[in-house]
Chains A and B, each alone.
Chain A
Amino acid sequence: MTEAPLGLLAELTHRCPLHCPYCSNPLELAGRSAEMTTDQWRDALSQAHELGVVQMHFSGGEPLARRDLPELVAHARGLGAYVNLVTSGVGLTGDRARALADCGVDHVQLSLQDADPARADRIAGARVHTAKRRAAQAVLAAGLPLTVNVVLHRANIEHTGEIIELATALGADRIELANTQYYGWALRNRGALLPTPRQLAVAQQAVEQARTRYTGRGPELVYVVADHYADRPKPCMHGWGSRQLTVTPTGDVLPCPAAGVITTLPVENVLRRPLARIWYDSRAFNAFRGTGWMADPCRTCPQRHTDFGGCRCQAFQLTGDATATDPVCTLSPHRRLVDALLTEDAAPDDTSQPAFVMRTQTAS
């Protein structure tokens, strides 16, 4: 039986002052005029609440780019939802942080690109690192708990130790270090982002050292592994259509933030159909629920209830078949596709840094 969703990822806008090449937003970004209005977002949030969503993640793009963010936060909090703001921190002044806290933000996730300002700004494609440090102070001064998010890739992963130190000094209660997932702009830049095995070992060691150092105190450290190097796939979304849904700036409703890449699935939209109908009845949300859709080797695999066959989007992107086993799995007949990527893009002795294709609103 299908259970109600717990979480909503509300991608309020694709507009963003940063141009990070690892962004998982789609290559075709929605412009301001295509975004849902305040009333449409309010209605979507209310529908999500009625459906059973208790946690709302306000993200983007940069959610602060929406002038109505305080209204939407207040609406979500008025529904009783936990409000998590996922932000680059650009524009998050002390006043704005206090106002958002008053409106009901429960927690802030602030992204950093690297520890060193010049390197961080190069990855962001904008001079923003200093503003982010001020944003962290503004979050703490507003009395809000802070998670620092860092996406790791070839250009910053060797600085994992420094990044942890900086995030800790900035007052993070939680540090999330996530190896890049290859969707959207990140897929476009995969050749420049995939870390080498040596780099991964450096990061792993830095995380372990920090964990030892902070045992019983200090921030919580979350490290998301580089799944191309794993031999079993990630339990993507804890299963398709099981816990969370994503609403994009234009109102498209997706089982995961990347699901738009699966072109064989119809795309639902909250402006055209009630959210509850989309969650329970739509073909898109039911396509990979449970285990009935699985082919070999997943179908009989004892791991199928814990990894759910891995990521449907990755299976589709690499094999063209969204029902295939995630090719990351060494039991997949397509694992050689992932091995080939690792050999071509991340040879152990390759220290070159190919140019990034920076995320821009107009490129496609």
Chain B
Amino acid sequence: MTGPLDTGSPRLRPGVRLTHDHVRDTDMVLLPEGVLVLNETAAAVLGLCDGRRTVAQITDVLRERYDGVRAEDVTELLADLAERRVVSLGDRQGAGLDDPAGVRPDD
């Protein structure tokens, strides 16, 4: 079975922003109701989530930059960030559109 983590192109959800905080000298993701402090790996992964690169392509870019990148670690991190509503995984490769805003209750 394949899912968004195999075929999708993750991107930051609307209302989510990456930033570098100079006071704490750390990367952060800013959310509607909160802040996540990012380690270097998470910051690198999120920096590549542009809604065009697939998870596999993100993993490839990371491998060019870092040693010992494991695909399952990237997948797991993205699943966690999707769970926290930081990224949407998107199931359409190359999709640049936002999610439909109004999901009707009975769709």
Contact = CB atoms under 8 A, between A and B. Distances in A.
Interface in A188-239: 213-214, 217-220, 222
Q: Which of B28, B32, B35, B102 has the most CB of A within 10 A?
A: B32
Contacts of B23: 4, 50-52
Interface in A163-199: 165, 168-171, 173-174, 176
A145 B104 contact: no
Task: Summarize B's interface: helix, strand, loop or mixed.
Answer: loop
A255 B27 CA distance: 26
A168 B17 contact: no
Given A4-B24, A106-B30, A147-B32, A54 B19 contact: yes
A72 B32 CA distance: 19
A274 interface: no
Interface string B53-79: 000000000000000000000000000
Interface residues of B, number: 21
A213 B107 CA distance: 10
A77 to B, nearest CB: 10
Q: How many A residues touch the partner, as a band?
A: 35 or more
Nearest to B32: A107
A171 B15 CA distance: 14
Contacts, number: 69
B35 to A, nearest CB: 5
B105 A84 contact: no
B103 A54 contact: no
A107 B105 contact: no
B86 to A, nearest CB: 12
A6 B13 CA distance: 21
B28 A106 contact: no
B80 interface: no
B17 A52 contact: no
Query: Which 7 A-B residue pairs are closest in the complex by CB-CB distance?
Result: A145-B15, A82-B30, A52-B23, A171-B101, A145-B14, A171-B102, A107-B15
